[in-house]
Amino acid sequence: MTIKRSAIIGTGSVLPKQRLSNEELAETHHIDTSDSWIVERTGIHYRHIADSDETTGTLATEAARRALKNAGVKAEDVGLIVLATTTPDQTLPATAMTVQAALGINDCVAFDVQAVCSGFLYALSVADSMLRTGTADIAVVIGAETFTRLLNWEDRTTCVLFGDGAGAVVLRRTEEEGKGIQTVKLHADGRYKDLLCSSGGPSSTGTVGTLLMKGREVFRHAVTNLVTVTQEALLSSGFDASQVDWIVPHQANARILDATARKLGVPSERVVMTVDMHANTAAASVPLALDAAVQDGRIKSGDLVVLEAMGGGFTWGAAVIRF
């Protein structure tokens, strides 16, 4: 019996026009910080900030267009759009509907997924499952955020960490031996929701709220959870860390990426790191980093790639993919 899987056949990404260095951030928002302080603790040099005419929907649409172009797929052939975001354009409808309309698709399944920084992996798992069961043959999976609109610019412990952007992949159902998504493992534990959350919401306060984070506790849980779920995903798919060509992690913090790689025994040169150039873009960070590594030729056909992320909630997950 032939196993049906979904394979990534194209990637795309976009960053807002405005790029802000650490020095510019400190000066613009009158924050008591410095480039050396931020770089030492996070590895971040720049972040991109969405202008008033740039929304999660516009960024997601452009990332999807680029992914479709790179895949050689027409928008009309897409049967499924799954968009991961914490910062939708509106409370309703789903921002995936905005993307669908902007792409000129009159009818396909389209919805949003919210799992904060793990959102892209949750969306990827949902789309993979739906393609395997025949809901569609081609899907676009997007991670897109205008996360800076949730920031308290007087809180230097959080506002220096985040940026805006979008990344997307095109999935196609395939029966090609060994190709595609081998496994996705997902987890959540709501007992820790107050360690990384927002101060509001439409049901509780009638406001968007701002980001609240207890960084030290988040760091500790992140390293442990990311190592465990990556090992779980590799074991489930019959591989070990020595066989992985590339790890593409959630771009939260360079120190988290380094610590996770060390515990997995993976050399740093096999970890795709882009956090220095765009900071933490939440659900967009994994597809942004993935597209960067595909476009510059690091990730090639036949490579074994692990995606992993952890977000507020807590949520976390890992995917093993044969390109």
CA angle 197, 203, 208 (to 5 degrees): 50
Q: Domain containing 289 — which CATH number?
A: 3.40.47.10
Domain-terminating residue out of 174, 191, 210: 174
User: How many angstroms separate the CA atoms of 43 and 226, rounded?
Assistant: 19
Q: For residue 143, how far is the Cα from the chain centroid?
A: 5
Task: Quote the crossing angle between the two packed helices 285-295 and 56-71, to the nearest 10°.
Answer: 30
**Cis peptide upstream of residue 219 (ω within 30 degrees of 0):** no
Is residue 120 domain-shared with residue 187, that is, in the same domain?
Answer: no
Domain-terminating residue out of 150, 174, 198: 174
Beta bridge partners of 144: 166
**Which amino acids are annotated catalytic?**
117, 250, 280
Domain tally, the chain = 2
Is residue 141 domain-shared with residue 210, that is, in the same domain?
Answer: no
The DSSP call for residue 9 is E
Is residue 196 domain-shared with residue 302, that is, in the same domain?
Answer: yes
pLDDT tens sequence for the chain (323 residues): 566 899 999 999 999 999 999 999 999 888 888 999 999 999 999 999 999 999 999 999 999 999 999 999 999 999 999 999 999 999 999 999 999 999 999 999 999 999 999 999 999 999 999 999 999 999 999 999 999 999 999 998 999 999 999 999 999 999 888 899 999 999 999 999 999 999 999 999 999 999 999 989 999 999 999 999 999 999 999 999 999 999 999 999 999 999 999 999 999 999 999 999 999 999 999 999 999 999 999 999 999 999 999 999 999 999 999 99
User: How many angstroms separate the CA atoms of 259 and 257, rounded?
Assistant: 6
Is residue 150 domain-shared with residue 218, that is, in the same domain?
Answer: no
User: Sheet of 5-14: strands edge to edge?
Assistant: 5-14, 165-174, 138-145, 80-84, 109-113
Is residue 218 domain-shared with residue 313, that is, in the same domain?
Answer: yes
Identify the CA nearest to 117 among candidates 306, 284, 318, 293.
284
Is residue 170 domain-shared with residue 186, that is, in the same domain?
Answer: no
Is residue 33 domain-shared with residue 87, that is, in the same domain?
Answer: yes
List the domain range (segments joined by +) for residue 196: 180-322
Is residue 280 domain-shared with residue 295, that is, in the same domain?
Answer: yes
